[in-house]
Amino acid sequence: MADSGWVAVAGAVVGGGLTGAVALLQVRLQHRQGDKEREHKEITERRAALMQIYTRYQLAADRLENRIRELAEARHPAILEAGTTDTRRMGEEEKYLEGFEAAQREYDEVCELLKLVAPLKTVDIALQQRPLFNRFAREALDGSYNHDASYELIAHAARSVLTAMRVDLQSPE
């Protein structure tokens, strides 16, 4: 009988130990699953934030390109008529200049945001568009901008940026 008592105690200890071990394994498994869920949530949130900024960047770049083209179209006839002082013409030109300046500010702001959150490689590629836009803006102001001739440069720069952004959105980090 005494032996059976020890067997019962030993069984309880071993059973309790196994129960404790199983409970510990369950806690570890739940912890790992929680870590994976948190990591997945963080990645999802980061991608959503990047998508918002990338979309805003693309819209700002498109808007700036359009304003440069509009400014060039408004300035070109004005430069041809350099000796005239048509106040209506000057008012239209001022409107296009203000639109260009607003688009430039918006583009600059989103570039600063991009620098804060995007991977460095994407930032470098995106900021390569800035000198291109600056050159086109100078050409628009002096009346020498030709959108048809510049279109391939614009398209190439845009493709490079879009490719980098797509890679960022597909990567796990």
Checking if the pLDDT of 81 tops 80, the result is no
Checking if the pLDDT of 25 tops 80, the result is no
Single out the residue of 167, 160, 162 nearest to residue 54, CA to CA: 162
- Regarding predicted confidence, which is higher, 22 or 56? 56
Find the helix packing angle between 147-170 and 129-142, rounded to 10°: 160
Say what percent of the chain tops pLDDT 90.
46
pLDDT-wise least confident of 44-48, 63-67, 113-117, 129-133: 44-48
Instruction: Check: pTM over 0.85? Answer yes or no.
Output: no
